Amino acid sequence: MSWQEFCLLLLSVSASVIGQLFLKIGAVKLGRVDVQNAVKQTLGIITTPELLIGLACYGIGAILYILLLTRVNLSVAGPSASLVYVFSVLLGYFIFKESIPLTRLMGLTLIVCGVILVVWQK
Nearest partner of 116 among 9, 11, 14, judged by Cα: 9
Give, rounded to a whole angstrom, the gap between the first and last alpha carbons of the chain.
11
pLDDT attached to residue 122: 65
pLDDT attached to residue 23: 95
Which stretches of the chain drop beneath a pLDDT of 70?
A: 122
When divided into structural domains, the chain yields a total of 1
Cα–Cα distance measured from residue 104 to residue 108, given in angstroms and rounded to the nearest whole number: 6
Question: What residues make up the domain containing 54?
Answer: 3-119
pLDDT attached to residue 38: 78
pLDDT attached to residue 33: 79
